[in-house]
Structure 1
């Protein structure tokens, strides 16, 4: 969708040096993989495997062959196929957080455990917001048993919105039930293969480890040829080097290892490259979500992904502030814009209060407006005979005005962004209308959505089929 040049901070030599350094790490240090079956497949593909240490070292040829095989673009579909999220096509895709362990009332400064009622509210608001491409569950509801929680969340998502959806999948025991729900929504296994509604999300454990649960999930998804998204989350100074370049090397190595594993399991599987490194605040040892380094590394990771020809996901719409305040606006807005200008396919996750301190519907509504702001910037400035408007300037002359001119009427809606929550009025009318802050206006929109929004209804037969899958999971997993 962008018509403006992509922003970058690394030159080509920088990117090549990071790439070469990552290859050295994979060959010399290797990756610890906590899954015997995956280690066996890697050994058969040519990796140097030490089974006692659960270690796989990967040489350059294996890495480059895997990169060549990987699918470079894919589309995720909503329940009936009318709503999509496209990766590798130049689109800017957004997602509300797939799940937080706390629920935040941003205006009243209250944090509590989320419930199933909060889940339904999150899905309803995500469905209504214009610039949320993928609806995340936003919650880990405490009133739903942990062993089936992701299955229940998936059911609520598919029943509650026509957009593509995501929650955090827990392990290889629940993954088959999650996939059964998406098969039902797609109309069958073959239809899901052809028009995927879900992707695997695999998070390596830094430094340089692949967890058992992630490998279990990966095996379930690659059997169906479904897309895979990797999300290494190296923390500079803690689980990775304190230097940003060193963190990029390790983050890239963990991504490349994931791509190798995916292509060994099922060549041609589409892959999204995850560029989500963070720093820690050395004064507290806590992770930071809103640092300038976050934006810098997001840009760099987008450039590296482009070097490989892969779609990329970055963490750049986040903040350290727990409130919907000036700090949150600066952190989220500046880094989100950097990630978008760099050409990231997915900028995530929206609706989070602080560094994974909870989910907030008020924050999600503000984030939705921020996305629209950034999309306007990405459209750039159209320059042609019509927009240069020399004839219009001549027509108005020295004493006329442009406000009532037909040229203004024809173009202002496309040229000028008209926000919903940004207040541009003068002081007196703003005060007379209550002097509301953006957070207060966002809260009002949340309440309006919860009271009035009607999502596209689900077919009753499909709803019964989904409910039966959840019941089956309950019988076998609880």
Structure 2
């Protein structure tokens, strides 16, 4: 028997009120949808649509029926066809955050735009961190045109790791190219639908709006059975109510509208109840992802998703610090641990700084240790033996020790999370003998060690050639002669 710790912010009654208000908002004031295809789809199924204003009033019954057709669980697979990430129940997984437009080099105070070589180093590092269950298209490369930046990230991911991918498209047209890349690795559209290797974020625009790009991407995901992840992003007091529960209500309405659109395209297609809200800082005008109120909203909306029987996701485990420092550690640690205790299926955030805009490889390594501890925490305490410990304590008695016992050899590795050398648990004199390195310096050493030890698992040559051909065609259409060097 294992006793798993859990965290709960909302009562059952409060969740019911949140959901009821979310359904009410779908019909009054309704949702603005900047997609003719989606508006016609909703109208066909009984929603009241003002095509001129692009506002749709979605009946609560229509949205409820859509929620009922969503699978309560599904898997993401690695490139070898093995189920790696389980969306559902209280299973907890982690992947790096996204999508950073800056990268922070070790020892630097100022960030810079990332390029292809930075992305390759990131993927090699993420591939070697066992604590991370998936990878993400975490950096936006500045050495390719923005018209192809989204698909180019996915191309690099597919070349350098077998792990499943959390990604997203920046345009209507590029979603199809990204699907082609995934199909090339999977072997066919049917194989990709049967064993999906990627999930696409779809972000409504608060308050209560859907852009054409995001809405079209969402419908395309449903059509081709590629998992989608709803990412509602209300900012308290700015693009959402100032109260935390008010933000959860708006999040609920926005995600419910996304579920309705998605399931009307293809009932039963996989979709995840996710988000990236923030507690807006009225002093600075910033969106602190490490604020405790942001974390509270994340955990609360995940409880709403679980109440509805849907898989869950959140952007957590991030920091608003500009460098890898103490603030970076405590903000990321609190978010990762509370998200895990809530049982959120996929927590995206490791590696991220500066309001989700900057990435640090050293932070990713440190966060992997936090993730290991968080996973150990939610694994709980197990009753390994019956009686619990009477026999071994009596055997050792008053004057003995437990170090040499078979009982210790049997259980200590299963009971304890053993961190990498990034976490300092040594005596002070040993630490001094090793150069008095702080956690960031130790993390940098581990970054270089993992990247140096990277062993590729190459795709078949014909698959690699086709991936490059697809990406090059898109790049040439955007004005490039050739793809950047990857070293």
Q: Paired residue for 2:268?
A: 268
How many residues align? The count is: 478
SS in 2 for 1:142: coil
User: How many angstroms does 1:89 deviate by?
Assistant: 4.3
Deviations, residues 227-255 of structure 1 (Å, cap 9, x unaligned): 11100111001100101111111011000
Greater Cα shift, 164-173 or 405-414: 164-173
Match of 2:67 in 1: 67
- Per-residue Cα deviation, 1:254-273 (whole angstroms, up to 9, x for no partner): 00000000011111111100
Q: 1:217 to 1:387 in 2, by over 3 A?
A: farther
- Shift, 1:340, TM fit: 0.7
Alpha-carbon separation, structure 2, partners of 1:469 and 1:387: 62
> 1:115-194 counterparts in 2 under 5 A?
115-194=115-194
Moved more, 168-177 or 305-314: 168-177
Partner of 1:318: 318
Matches within 5 A, 1:448-467: 448-467=449-468
Residue 259 of structure 1: aligned partner: 259
Does the CA-based 8 Å contact 1:351-1:361 persist in structure 2? yes
1:234–1:251 CA contact under 8 A, matched in 2: yes
Once the two structures are superposed, the pairs formed by residues 43-58 of structure 1 within 5 Å of their partners are: 43-58=43-58
Q: Which residue of 1 aligns with 2:440?
A: 439
Partner of 1:300 in structure 2?
A: 300
SS at match of 2:111: strand
How many Å separate the matches in 1 of 2:282 and 2:315? 20
CA deviations 1:128-175 (Å, max 9, x no partner) are 111111112321111112222222221111111010123331111111
In the alignment, structure 2 segments of 5+ residues that lack a partner are 480-487
Counterparts of 1:83-122 in structure 2, within 5 Å, are 84-122=84-122
SS class of match (2:260): helix
Shift of 1:220: 2.3
Residue of structure 2 equivalent to 1:359: 359
Give the whole-Å Cα distance in 2 for the aligned partners of 1:86 and 1:472.
Answer: 34
Following the alignment from structure 1 to structure 2, what is the Cα–Cα distance between the partners of residues 116 and 386? 56
Cα-to-partner distance string for 1:101-141 (whole Å, 9 max, x where unaligned): 10112432231110000011111111111111111232111
Unaligned runs of 5+ in 1: none
Task: Name the SS of the counterpart of 2:348 in structure 1.
Answer: strand
Query: Cα offset for 1:91?
Result: 2.2
Q: What TM-score comes out, normalization by structure 1 length? A: 0.97
Distance in 1, matches of 2:204 and 2:83, equals 30
With over 3 angstroms needed to count, the CA separation of the structure-2 counterparts of 1:475 and 1:108, relative to structure 1, is closer
- Return the alpha-carbon distance in structure 2 between the equivalents of residues 2 and 411 of structure 1: 15
The equivalent of 1:327 in structure 2 is: 327
Q: Which residue of 2 aligns with 1:82?
A: 82
- Report the counterpart of residue 281 of structure 2 in structure 1: 281
In structure 2, what is the equivalent of residue 291 of structure 1? Answer: 291
Question: In structure 1, what is the Cα distance between the partners aligned to 2:179 and 2:330?
Answer: 39
CA contact (8 A) 1:128 1:455 kept: no
Alignment of 1:213-228 (within 5 A): 213-228=213-228
Q: Distance in 2 between the 1:386 and 1:126 partners?
A: 40
Aligned 8 A contact 1:279 1:288 in 2:
yes
Q: What is the alpha-carbon root mean square deviation over aligned residues?
A: 1.6
TM-score for both structures, normalised by structure 2 = 0.95
Q: In the aligned structure 2, how far is the partner of 1:284 from the partner of 1:50?
A: 38
Could you give the per-residue CA deviations for residues 163-205 of structure 1, whole angstroms, max 9, x where no partner exists? 0123331111111111111111111111111111222311001
Relative to structure 1, the CA distance from residue 146 to residue 346 in structure 2 (aligned partners, 3 Å threshold; closer, same or farther) is same
In 2, distance between residues paired with 1:97 and 1:248?
Answer: 22
Deviations 1:251-307 (A, max 9, x none): 110000000000111111111001432111111111111111122112211211111
Q: Distance in 1 between matches of 2:106 and 2:54?
A: 45
